[in-house]
Amino acid sequence: MRTKPLPRSQPSPKSGRRPRGAAKPASHDPATPPALIDFMMKDWKPSSTQAPAPIEHAGAFAARRRALSKLYPAETLVVPTGHEKVRANDTTYRFRPGSDFYWLTGNVEPDCVLVMVPKAGGGHRDVLFVEPNPGRGDPTFFTDRSKGELWVGARLGVPQSRARYGVHECRGLPELAELLASLKKGRTTRPTRVLRALSEKVDAAVASSDRDKELATALSELRLRKDAVEVRELERAIASTKRGLEDVIRSLGPAGTAMSPGGARSEREVEGVFGLRARVEGADVGYGTIAAAGAHACVLHWTRNDGRLKKGDLLLLDAGVERETLYTADITRSIPIGGRFGKAQRQIYDLVLAAQRAALAAVKPGADFLDPHRAAMRVLTEGLCAIGILRGSVEDALAEDQQLHKRYTLHGTSHMLGLDVHDCAQARQEVYKLGKLAEGMVLTVEPGLYFQLDDLTVPAKYRGIGVRIEDDVLVTAKGSRNLSSAIPTGADEIEAWMASIWAR
């Protein structure tokens, strides 16, 4: 049974008043008598004064701050991480830091704000605002339901954060309001840019301008090319995701049976099995798991996951483990629930696989970002024409004013990947969607075909089949490297992979 929390703050036994800024007690909270406060404030072992170890790869985070600093000399930059979000009433979702803030600092605590203040001699002074930790010297450690360490765990505090994250200076969050007020009231002549839509308090404190959008765009574009640390974290996320996929296959039961007793029977169980691996080896899933069996695979973002598993159907599993460092994999495999593809299923699967291989071959530095998509769409359209689903010529179907193939494959073939599953979303089109691929970029390659159950343009044997195959690819100096190549893709390989897992 979950215990009922005490109020965030209680009146001081000396003043009889609630501390400034404290939340009102919830209706179900018991009172905290002064005697309890007195008792709780005594006889605690002194906290350690030893500085925490620097965060791993502190140099990489510092280098990213310096790269941002060079873009905006003599301007104040404000980057919040965001706050916990309410799920229902007074319960919140598990906090996930803002991607840009994390990329610059490595800090995963809620509420923090990075302010980069220009220095007279050039560059910026990095000031990180964090939640102070008063330890056992203030009753909030047990009365504050939102930040008290007996409720939510200890936070580093101000001097400890300075040592941990290697910034020039740390200050307590209560000091942030005064700095923001100085920016709003023009007590400084420096231009200010704020990363918006992460903190209502920060947004309200500083007037918005077109410069803010430019900051969001610049951060996305800086993140387009991954450094060695980021690539390594993505590889680790992909390795965990492969193990998660194998967990799901194991849960389906041995081939040739109606699935083993006690094996997975529903999409929700598939989601849960993969989610366990994500929590064991990472922070969470990187996005809502798509566990789409049968015709549900024809719904591109099927996350209800409330359907049943049937031996003759395919399971389209689109999932990724997000590591503690927040980098996420994004992998899709379409697997036969019973262990073997049917004839029509294999025919469509092989067509999608051919399209993916053509797209993978188009990933190289200097190529258009859209080249993999164009390659995949041509192969899919040729296949759709060959099996009689599309009538007329391939060129007519692909023409800009026609695009008839999209009836069966609505989505693009690629998107950037990194801290976000759809990474660098604020980048300008001319450097992303309409730009060129460059060494260090990581993108997905994920063509698919989806034949709706009620689509009369499709032969009956194909209706209800949905197939997507997705891998995560690094652009290298001379070509590309499929970071998820260890996860089987060919139909025969998929069947052998499943059989080997069931034989263990």
In the chain, where are the structural domains located?
58-222, 228-503
φ and ψ at residue 444, rounded to 5 degrees: -85, 155
For the chain, the distance separating the N- and C-terminal CA atoms, rounded to the nearest angstrom, is 39
What pLDDT sits at residue 17?
Answer: 34
What pLDDT sits at residue 7?
Answer: 31
Is it the case that residue 467 has pLDDT exceeding 60? yes
Percent over 90 (pLDDT), the chain: 85
pLDDT for 366-399, tens place per residue?
Answer: 999 999 999 999 999 999 999 999 999 999 999 9
E strand or H helix that includes residue 316: strand 314-319
Token pair 């002549």 in the structure block, residue: 189
Is-same-fold flag (58-222; 228-503)?
A: no
What pLDDT sits at residue 31?
Answer: 86
Token pair 């494959």 in the structure block, residue: 409
Asked if 417 and 330 count as a contact pair (C-beta separation under 8 A), the reply is: yes
Token pair 């693009």 in the structure block, residue: 412
What pLDDT sits at residue 185?
Answer: 65
Q: Are strands 331-336 and 314-319 parallel, antiparallel or unpaired?
A: antiparallel
Measure Cα distances from 218 to 62, 284, 332 in Å. Answer: 17, 28, 30
What kind of fold does domain 228-503 have according to CATH? Creatine Amidinohydrolase (3.90.230)
**Mean pLDDT within 190-198:** 94
- Supply the CATH classification number for the domain 58-222: 3.40.350.10
Is it the case that residue 344 has pLDDT exceeding 60? yes
Mean of the per-residue pLDDT values for the chain?
A: 92
Is it the case that residue 52 has pLDDT exceeding 60? yes
pLDDT for 29-49, tens place per residue?
Answer: 788 899 999 999 999 999 888
Least confident window among 250-254, 298-302, 303-307: 250-254
φ and ψ at residue 27, rounded to 5 degrees: -65, -25
Q: What share of the chain is helix, strand, coil (3-state, %, to 5)?
A: 35, 15, 50
pLDDT for 127-185, tens place per residue?
Answer: 999 999 998 989 999 999 888 999 999 999 999 999 999 999 999 999 999 999 988 76
Measure Cα distances from 347 to 241, 351, 391, 490, 493 in Å. Answer: 27, 6, 19, 12, 15
Quote the CA–CA distance of 491 and 434 in Å, as a whole number.
Answer: 33
Q: Which amino acid is at 317?
A: L
SS (H, E, C) 202-249: HHHHCCCCHHHHHHHHHHHHHCCCCCHHHHHHHHHHHHHHHHHHHHHH
| Total residues belonging to the chain | 504
pLDDT for 243-272, tens place per residue?
Answer: 999 999 999 987 444 455 556 799 999 999
